[in-house]
Amino acid sequence: MIELRQLNKYYKVGKQRFHALKDVDLTIGDGEMVAVVGKSGAGKSTLMNIIGLVDTWDSGEYLLDGVSIRKQSDRRLARLRNEKIGFVLQDFALIEDQSVLFNVSLPLILGREKYGNIKPKALRVLEEVGLADQRNKKANQLSGGQKQRVAIAGVLAMQPQCVVLDEPTAMLDPQGRREVLDTIERLN
């Protein structure tokens, strides 16, 4: 469960302060899927980065499963980020000349998963996003929608409690967009 209470974020621009998030109150329960919409510059990415524990804020409270994030050390924050949060970005962030299976395995390898578990876990999440039959292709041989589903599979392999997607369909054509949104809805 994610709870934001009266959250404010300022950016320093020269000597000025820019008020990027103003008194944000938001509750997201377990199993909920929430879309944040708004025009460019509204603060969506800022909010995603705070929820994803990769940026700080200036006032207000963020509780993740009842734990106050404001009071955590950097070390503990890094642990929480690894354990609880999965981040999907708009540009997929895949290693293009490596296989689909390798790309999905990489988070597990970096997360020091036991060697024998890596391939079965990677194959399971590839099944979940409907791409197991593409596992030996290189990432650069896939469509945009397929690449984003591989990126989502990589995130899911880590079994995060919360998946943060920042404009996951921005780089896709209508067909890819549909594929990715269907996948996200189905998985949720």
Q: Which residues bind ligand ADP (CB under 6 A)?
A: 11, 13, 18, 20, 38, 40-46
Min dist CB 142 to ligand ADP, Å, is 26
Q: C-beta of 66: minimal distance to ligand ADP in Å? A: 26
Half-sphere exposure of 159 (CA within 13 A, CB side): 5
**Residue with Cβ nearer ligand ADP (42 or 67):** 42
In the bound state with ligand ADP, the residue whose beta carbon lies nearer, of 20 and 165, is 20
* Token pair in block for residue 177: 């967009």
Residue nearer to ligand ADP on the CB measure, 18 or 76: 18
End-to-end CA distance of the chain: 15
- Least distance CB 122 / ligand ADP (angstroms): 31
Cβ proximity to ligand ADP, 38 vs 174, nearer residue: 38
Best CA proximity match to 124, nearest among 140, 96, 105: 105
**Shortest Å distance, C-beta 100 to ligand ADP:** 29
Q: Report the distance separating Cα 131 and Cα 119, nearest Å.
A: 14
Closest CA to 141 of 170, 181, 179, 103: 103
Q: How far is CA 102 from the centre of its chain?
A: 19
Q: How far is the CB of 34 from ligand ADP (least distance, A)?
A: 15
Cβ proximity to ligand ADP, 21 vs 125, nearer residue:
21
Closer residue to ligand ADP, CB minimum distance, 18 or 70: 18
Exposed, middle or buried by CB within 10 Å (0-12, 13-18, 19+), for 129?
buried
- Reported in sequence order, the residue ranges of the chain that DSSP labels E, i.e. its strands, are 2-13, 16-28, 59-64, 67-68, 85-88, 162-165
> Least distance from C-beta 151 to ligand ADP, angstroms?
19
